[in-house]
Amino acid sequence: MKSYSFRMKRGALRRRARDVSLVLVVLLCATVVIWTWDRAPTSAFLPPESHYLKLQTEEKVERIPTDTKDIYSSATPFVNKDTKEEEIQGEEVTLSETNQGKTPTIEEIKQEHEDIATEPIYRKTPAIEDNKLEQVKHEVPVGEAKATKKTHIKKTNLDPESKSLAADEERTSTTHIKSQACNYAKGKWVVDDHRPLYSGAHCKQWLASMWACRLMQRTDFAFERLRWQPKDCSMEEFEGSKFLKRMKNKTLAFVGDSLGRQQFQSMMCMITGGKERPDVLDVGPEFGFITPEGGARPGGWAYRFPETNTTVLYHWSSTLCDIQPINISDPLTEHAMHLDRPPAFLRQYLHKIHVLVMNTGHHWNRGKLNGNRWVMHVNGVRNTNKKLAALGNAKNFTIHSTVSWVSSQLPLHPGLKAFYRSLSPRHFVGGEWNTGGSCNNTTPMSIGKEVLQEESRDYSAGHAVKGTGVKLLDIAALSHIRDEGHISRFSISASPGVQDCLHWCLPGVPDTWNEILFAMI
């Protein structure tokens, strides 16, 4: 018995010793693996480069590869189908979707066409460039990619803002400097007898009749009498003559979608006070705005006030990225939508611009992309990254790349002030643009009259300009509480039952965007 139990004990001891050495071996192996992992670059554990897209950093964006030069500087005027449709329909987002390609489902439109308020709030991270890489290599945990990639990427935020601010201080009055510190996005709407700044019935030279609610069946005009009063700071009153003086020998450029065009027409009416100005010159050809053969209209408009040599222009770029036909000789060609390249117009004419106002937003839906045969490209090739292909991400990515490209150009153009204008909200209630959605309210300020939040309501825009020299023209929240200011059911070109709760009546809300812009330049 004794010897048996002794044997048992010895056997148990031996087994335990074996277990312990096994554990030790495993621990040793684990240590070696962790040690090598720690030392090797993250890239060692990623698929070879050809298996994932490397997104461009600003350095690359600046260089034009010779083999794609023709894509960038294509002289062939590109007829944007959106442009044609908008002209015919007098509408932008709401009416043109179904003409070609696949008709989007209601659900698709709802999802992709939603305004920023319903977009999820994403975690904030400080470095834009790091995140571009994260977007692509989404298998890699965010923290790791950041830690290992940080040193490889050149930061392009050279803080040109402080430079241009210093320049400002030299030539502007003290009140002007004070106004730089004001957050114009915060404030309230007040009724003011000195509004509107021009007559919607008389500004025929600049204002399209499809946006002039005075020329429609609309009979309530309380929405015209509102003025934006920023909180804790006064905003310089807009005057056309003051604007022209400040913009002597200078060019103001709006680049964006039809909401940008509304802001452009509003500005022309504000400068002229809605009066006829036969002396104002059409200088479109100086910026390549020529109606292409077979096209409905040029890629933009440019007008010059001779007394101060001030030019105000608008260029149509609904997605704020470069779009080029893939096969120039094929009329039904697909178009490469280069998410990481700024519109060709900006590359070509930035040196002639002194104040730039960019916007995008409502064109990022499947209907538009399919209808226009736009195919997302990154780094010169078709995008295969599924995460980036999601429209919300593609839009956000494009806003970030165009804004940081413009910011990277600021040191080369010391006279340039660049703005990104945050999203103009839509107000469809009880449906979408094509399912009976409406915006019938006519009482101003019924959903609110004040904005007190510090951060922009347009998270993507706020994030994109952070740390760059591009300033945010933040109109998202103040416009959001102006649901009564849309064209609504009075649209002259819409089919019965279809309302326009996207575009604004002019005079109206976009005038305020320009008042804030004026205070910021």
Ligand X SMILES: *[C@@H]1O[C@H](CO)[C@@H](O)[C@H](O)[C@H]1NC(C)=O
The secondary element (H helix, E strand) that includes residue 406 is: helix 391-409
What DSSP character marks residue 123? P
Binding-site member from 429, 452, 455, 495 for ligand X (CB under 6 A): 429
Letter for the amino acid at 91?
E
Integer angstrom CA distances of residue 329 from 45, 80, 279, 343: 44, 15, 41, 22
Does residue number 398 form part of the binding site for ligand X (CB under 6 A)?
no
List strand residue ranges (DSSP E) for 129-277, in order: 187-191, 226-230, 251-256
131/365 with CB nearer ligand X? 131
Q: Which residues pair with 357 in a beta bridge?
A: 254, 419
Binding-site member from 186, 250, 363, 480 for ligand X (CB under 6 A): 250
For the bound state, the minimum distance from the C-beta of residue 76 to ligand X, rounded and expressed in Å, comes to 13
For the bound state, the minimum distance from the C-beta of residue 82 to ligand X, rounded and expressed in Å, comes to 22
37/122 with CB nearer ligand X? 122
Residues 177-206 as x/- pattern, contact with ligand X by CB under 6 A: ------------------------------
14/248 with CB nearer ligand X? 248
Does residue number 364 form part of the binding site for ligand X (CB under 6 A)?
no
Q: Which residues pair with 420 in a beta bridge?
A: 358, 472
For the bound state, the minimum distance from the C-beta of residue 494 to ligand X, rounded and expressed in Å, comes to 12
87/239 with CB nearer ligand X? 239
How far is residue 185's CA from residue 476's CA, in Å, rounded to a whole number?
A: 8
Please tell me the chain's helix, strand, coil percentages from 3-state DSSP, rounded to the nearest 5: 45, 15, 45
Binding-site member from 31, 234, 249, 446 for ligand X (CB under 6 A): 249
47/430 with CB nearer ligand X? 430
How far is residue 341's CA from residue 348's CA, in Å, rounded to a whole number?
A: 13
408 Cβ contact list (under 8 Å, min separation 6) = 58, 61, 62, 156
Residues 54-93 that bind ligand X (CB under 6 A): none
The site that binds ligand X (CB under 6 A) totals a number of residues, namely: 25
* Residue at shortest CB range from ligand X: 131
Binding-site member from 41, 65, 285, 430 for ligand X (CB under 6 A): 430
Binding-site member from 265, 360, 393, 512 for ligand X (CB under 6 A): 393
Query: What is the chain's Cα-based Rg?
Result: 28
For the bound state, the minimum distance from the C-beta of residue 439 to ligand X, rounded and expressed in Å, comes to 8
Binding-site member from 309, 379, 442, 493 for ligand X (CB under 6 A): 309
Residues 113-132 as x/- pattern, contact with ligand X by CB under 6 A: ---------x--x--x--xx
CA 361 to chain centre: 6
3-state SS string for 64-111: CCHHHHHHHCCCCCCCCHHHHHHHHHCCCCCCCHHHCCCCCCHHHHHH
Interacting stretch for ligand X, rule CB under 6 A, among 107-115, 168-176, 392-400, 477-485? 392-400
131/385 with CB nearer ligand X? 131
Sign (positive or negative) of CA dihedral 474, 476, 477, 483: positive
Q: Which of 224, 161, 516 is nearest to 357 (CA)?
A: 516
Q: Which residues pair with 325 in a beta bridge?
A: 335
Does residue number 330 form part of the binding site for ligand X (CB under 6 A)?
yes
Residues that bind ligand X (CB under 6 A): 122, 125, 128, 131-132, 135, 248-251, 309, 327, 329-330, 393, 396-397, 400, 429-430, 438, 440, 460, 463, 489
